[in-house]
Amino acid sequence: MKIAHPDVDFDRLREIGWSHWDPIGLLGVTGGWKGEPYEDEYDRYLYNAAQMLKNNCSVADVADYLFLVQSQEMQIGPQEITDTIRAKLIGVAQAISDDKHIWKNSET
């Protein structure tokens, strides 16, 4: 379900999500996300992650949030976070944090 937040550039956020995260593994099936009916599959989680960072949560806290999403909500993968998974999720959170153009008309 597409969510509307005029303050967010979802194309940029999706680019990060699909290239760094994709916990369901949809890209392995289709090879791309743009224009696909599921392109907004991770929008809610990525938006929440971006919002957490905008509200000064740490990259590590956002990584923990993403792990809870995939392990508890999606019920994908191990229930305990490993160093490898943590490093990957920190990379996702850092990529969101580093992109200063996700938030439209923002000083952050």
Question: Is 106 a member of any domain?
Answer: no
Question: Is 44 a member of any domain?
Answer: yes
Question: Is 73 a member of any domain?
Answer: yes
Q: Which domain holds residue 49?
A: 10-98
Listed residue (103, 108, 7) closest to 56, CA to CA: 108
Question: Is 104 a member of any domain?
Answer: no
Range list of H helices, the chain: 10-20, 27-30, 43-54, 59-68, 83-98
Q: Identify the segments of the chain with pLDDT beneath 50.
A: 108
Question: Is 46 a member of any domain?
Answer: yes
Domain count, the chain: 1
Question: Is 2 a member of any domain?
Answer: no
Question: Is 3 a member of any domain?
Answer: no
Q: How does pLDDT run across 63-88, given as a tens digit for each residue?
A: 999 999 999 999 998 999 999 999 99
Q: What is the pTM of this model?
A: 0.88
Is residue 86 packed enough to be buried (19+ CB in 10 Å), middle (13-18) or exposed (0-12)? middle
Tokens of 59: 């990259």
Question: Is 108 a member of any domain?
Answer: no
